[in-house]
Amino acid sequence: MERLHALVCAGTGCTSSQSALIIERLNEELVKFNLQDEVKIVKTGCFGLCQKGPIMAIYPDKIFYCHVSVDDVPEIVSEHFYKGRPVKRLELSDIDEITKEKIFEISKIRFYAKQKRVALRNCGVINPEDINEYIAKDGYQALGKVLTQMTSQAVIDEIKRSGLRGRGGGGFPTGIKWQFAADQTSDEKYVICNADEGDPGAFMDRSILEGDPHAVLEAMAIAGYAIGAKHGYVYIRAEYPIAVERLKIAIKQAEKLGLFGKDILGTGFEFNVEIRLGAGAFVCGEETALIMSIEGKRGMPNPKPPFPAIKGVWGKPTIINNVETFANITQIIINGADWFRSMGTNKSPGTKVFALGGKIVNTGLVEIPMGTTLREVIYEIGGGCPNNKNFKAVQTGGPSGGCLTEKDLNTPIDFDNLTALGSMMGSGGMIVVDEDNCMVDVARFYMEFICDESCGKCTPCRIGTKRMLELLTDLCEGRGSLATLDELESLGNSIKETALCGLGQTAPNPVLSTMRLFKDEYLAHAVDHKCPAGVCKNLLTYSIDPLKCKKCSLCAKNCPVDAISGEVGKTVFTIDAAKCIKCGACLTNCRFNAVIRG
């Protein structure tokens, strides 16, 4: 019998910090202590707390080890696995707010306390490469239930009643989409899982596929039954090699058990899934472009209607849903629509997964009930901004979204509230910005991304976004004026109205949103040619306050381009503006606050 399971995260984050080597070493050490039959090492998906990776969870002890290194392995095996003494220094802990004592109980750790894991329920809990572990967690029971006890229409009705809305960004009601496709008569229909995940900073879908691929595959088969489709495609970017590999393994194992293919569970239902690799183009996440790409054509969008549910891949009725949308389906079938509606808000039931990133202590993946406030996510779960810096804004919705600021922190997160505040839910990227970030620069970053990713089919997006980037660059480099701001705004608004697809129609949002919320910062760039956050290098000057200078020469020693001169102990130091590359090394190294950044 195995008496202890050590689950090691093998998601992309922890894999890049050597979790594969840790697993190898663990197995070697176990043999040394002759524990290989008692202790099982399990490779799992993401635990969410990527900041503290590589992470390892020990059961039945329910202990999490964080920042585990290969060198810690012998101690973990000899002390904990052999003698039963957990290695305290590696244990995940939190400080209790009231007693100020350390707490080790996972459910009380603030990062996890407010989370509710539905889409991520098996991530970090099972081995995604072993279908038996998924089956142990009631895997494929939902498929069994729909095939033996429910009509197709009953499945659609249940999903409609649950109020599930698409997690890929649009928030369209999933049940209604399925109904459209089910109502079509056609010899062939298709189910597509959109795993393109092109938003910079988003890794929700990747983590679900890496941690629990069967949950998505099972849901696709359920969708196939509901709309009358026999074929499914997972469209996933080739840049997600671990997720692709696990999907392949999952499909193979499910086929072998007869859970995919012909006559599934003896019911006569047939369903197959194929993987289609994308080359990692943002526009291919847009559903009509995605269909082109699956058909082997260049990924460019088409006007809608016709909607894919009527005329999709190969001209046949097709539903396209996001990975996370699918990850909720089996739970709705098993637990019922009412259970799902008991979480979240009235118009946005259920949970949402967010990828927390940027200036935040706990970078990682979190799943919260809709209706949780931004404050809870950023401060309680995320731990706030590091180094005691001031929170400035949070960017949601990626290159299609906008910013939310201090005043919005108490707003419950749901589709409609975020839209009303001028941002959007998007697919779940949440990037925190602090006082050291320049909002014009942030807006420029997204516009640069859009220019790279615009497919070029329509003029507003192809040329308009390029012009917007030029205007933003002018602001950042000191060539801006009030006219630049007017032009940005009017150009942004006309692109929104005239672009062909969602990419162009939403591309100006980050700019327009930051212009509205951080007008002063834009004015400082346009009129005074200054960057208050000290980011836009061309707008910065460094000088040394002669009254504060102690003639110590530390600044000069640290200057990489020898732009600072003076004599130790004799003369005050000065910076040659012509040579200065504005790296800020003098500012960080001066002990007397004598360096002035203006």
Q: Which residues bind ligand FMN (CB under 6 A)?
A: 166-170, 172, 194, 196-198, 282-283, 285-287, 320-322, 325, 427, 501-503
Q: How far is the CB of 107 from another protein (least distance, A)?
A: 12
Does 104 interact with another protein (rule: CB under 8 A)?
A: no
* Alpha-carbon distances, residue 51 vs 431, 461, 534 (angstroms): 14, 36, 27
147 vs 375: CA distance, rounded Å: 43
Q: How far is the CB of 414 from ligand FMN (least distance, A)?
A: 15
Does 16 interact with another protein (rule: CB under 8 A)?
A: no
Question: For the chain, what percentages of helix, strand and coil (3-state, to nearest 5) are there?
Answer: 45, 15, 40
Question: Judged by CB under 8 A, which stretch of 20-28, 143-151, 322-330, 388-396 contacts another protein?
Answer: 143-151
Does 39 interact with another protein (rule: CB under 8 A)?
A: no
Helix (H) or strand (E) holding 237: strand 231-237
70 vs 13: CA distance, rounded Å: 16
9, 56, 90, 126: which one binds another protein (CB under 8 A): 126
In this structure, are residues 156 and 175 in contact, taking their beta carbons and an 8 Å threshold? yes
65, 111, 140, 340: which one binds another protein (CB under 8 A): 140
Q: How far is the CB of 333 from another protein (least distance, A)?
A: 13
User: How many C-alpha atoms does 248 have within 13 Å on its Cβ side?
Assistant: 10
Our CB check for ligand FMN shows the closer of 484 and 505 to be 505
In this structure, are residues 284 and 293 in contact, taking their beta carbons and an 8 Å threshold? yes
From 207, 117, 215, 199, select the one nearest 425 (Cα to Cα). Answer: 199
Our CB check for another protein shows the closer of 79 and 489 to be 79
In this structure, are residues 428 and 394 in contact, taking their beta carbons and an 8 Å threshold? no
Residue 170 binds which of another protein, ligand FMN, none (CB < 5-8 A, kind-dependent): ligand FMN
72, 94, 129, 133: which one binds another protein (CB under 8 A): 133
Q: How far is the CB of 237 from ligand FMN (least distance, A)?
A: 9
Q: Tokens representing 233? A: 């495609």
Does 59 interact with another protein (rule: CB under 8 A)?
A: yes
Q: Tokens representing 398? A: 């990626």
574 vs 577: CA distance, rounded Å: 9
Segment 235-294, which members bind another protein (CB under 8 A)?
257-259, 263, 265-266
Our CB check for another protein shows the closer of 59 and 445 to be 59
Residue 84 binds which of another protein, ligand FMN, none (CB < 5-8 A, kind-dependent): another protein
Does 148 interact with another protein (rule: CB under 8 A)?
A: yes
Q: Tokens representing 286? A: 């847009």
Our CB check for another protein shows the closer of 2 and 545 to be 2
159 vs 153: CA distance, rounded Å: 10
346 vs 386: CA distance, rounded Å: 34
Our CB check for ligand FMN shows the closer of 41 and 499 to be 499
Residue 321 binds which of another protein, ligand FMN, none (CB < 5-8 A, kind-dependent): ligand FMN
Helix (H) or strand (E) holding 110: helix 110-113
Does 108 interact with another protein (rule: CB under 8 A)?
A: no
Residue 62 binds which of another protein, ligand FMN, none (CB < 5-8 A, kind-dependent): another protein
469 vs 275: CA distance, rounded Å: 36
Q: How far is the CB of 472 from ligand FMN (least distance, A)?
A: 20
16, 28, 69, 85: which one binds another protein (CB under 8 A): 85
504 vs 451: CA distance, rounded Å: 10
Residue 503 binds which of another protein, ligand FMN, none (CB < 5-8 A, kind-dependent): ligand FMN
* Alpha-carbon distances, residue 297 vs 2, 284, 289 (angstroms): 51, 11, 9
Number of chain positions touching another protein (CB under 8 A): 35
Can you tell me whether residue 261 is helix, strand or coil? strand
Can you tell me whether residue 54 is helix, strand or coil? coil
194 vs 369: CA distance, rounded Å: 23
335 vs 314: CA distance, rounded Å: 35
Does 62 interact with another protein (rule: CB under 8 A)?
A: yes
Our CB check for another protein shows the closer of 2 and 416 to be 2
21, 82, 269, 304: which one binds another protein (CB under 8 A): 82
The contact set with another protein (CB under 8 A) reads 1-5, 7, 38, 59-62, 82-85, 125-126, 132-133, 135-141, 144, 147-148, 257-259, 263, 265-266
